[in-house]
């Protein structure tokens, strides 16, 4: 029985990492697509093309990966008893921020698909670096467990 639970743990951990990679790949791609769309004319065929690509990215990769990553992550945290460890609280806070960032990008992409341009292109380019910073911090917390 213990051996079965041990193997299940490794499968959950692998699933968590795989879907986290999918989620982050989408979070790296969506801001880039927003930058490309920013230069298009509102109502144009090109804008419509980018809107469709972003909708597919959100529906096929981003949101499903977010959900599965959270399910595996919460299950793993309960399995290893991480809730009483400081590094886990910091990681959880950063993942909550990343989830909020995800939600903000979804709202922003829908606005831009309607022809709005609520953020200037330069700011949008800088905004696309947020997931890289959060990912680096999260990985350090998980691997180093500094507290």
Q: How confident is the model at residue 5 (pLDDT cuts 50, 70, 90)?
A: low
Q: Return phi, psi of residue 107, to 5°.
A: -65, -45
DSSP state of 84: G
Contact between 15 and 67 (Cβ < 8 Å):
no
Q: What is the four-CA torsion angle of 118, 93, 25, 68, rounded to 10 degrees? A: -110
Contact between 20 and 69 (Cβ < 8 Å):
yes
Average pLDDT over the chain, rounded to an integer: 95
Q: How confident is the model at residue 105 (pLDDT cuts 50, 70, 90)?
A: very high
Q: How confident is the model at residue 6 (pLDDT cuts 50, 70, 90)?
A: confident
Q: CA angle at residue 93 from 92 to 98, to 5 degrees?
A: 95
Is the pLDDT assigned to residue 4 strictly greater than 80?
no
Q: Taking residues 105-129, what's their average pLDDT?
A: 95
Is the pLDDT assigned to residue 1 strictly greater than 60?
no
Q: How confident is the model at residue 115 (pLDDT cuts 50, 70, 90)?
A: very high
* Per-position DSSP letters for 46-95, written without gaps between them: HHHHHHHHHHHIIIIIIHHHHHHHHHHHHHHHHHHTGGG-HHHHHHHHHH
- Which residues contact residue 114 at a Cβ distance below 8 angstroms, ignoring those fewer than 6 apart? none
Query: Using CA atoms, how far apart are residues 51 and 61, in angstroms rounded to an integer?
Result: 15
Q: What is the pTM of this model?
A: 0.92
pLDDT one-digit tens code per residue, 47-64: 999 999 999 999 999 999
Q: pLDDT exceeding 90 applies to what percent of the chain?
A: 94
Q: Taking residues 77-103, what's their average pLDDT?
A: 96
Both structure tokens of 50:
């980018």
Q: What is the domain partition of the chain in residue ranges?
A: 2-144
């Amino acid at each position: 029985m213990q051996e079965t639970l041990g193997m299940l743990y490794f499968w959950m951990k692998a699933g968590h990492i795989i879907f986290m990679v999918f989620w982050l790949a989408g979070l790296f791609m969506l801001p880039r697509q927003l930058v490309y769309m920013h230069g298009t004319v509102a109502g144009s065929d090109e804008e419509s093309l980018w809107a469709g690509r972003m909708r597919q990215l959100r529906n096929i990769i981003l949101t499903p990966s977010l959900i599965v990553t959270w399910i595996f992550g919460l299950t793993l945290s309960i399995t290893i008893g991480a809730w009483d460890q400081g590094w886990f609280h910091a990681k959880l806070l950063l993942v909550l921020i990343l989830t909020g960032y995800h939600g903000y990008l979804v709202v922003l992409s829908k606005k831009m698909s309607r022809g709005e341009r609520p953020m200037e292109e330069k700011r949008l380019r800088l905004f696309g670096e947020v997931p890289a910073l959060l990912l680096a911090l999260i990985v350090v917390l998980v691997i180093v467990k500094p507290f």
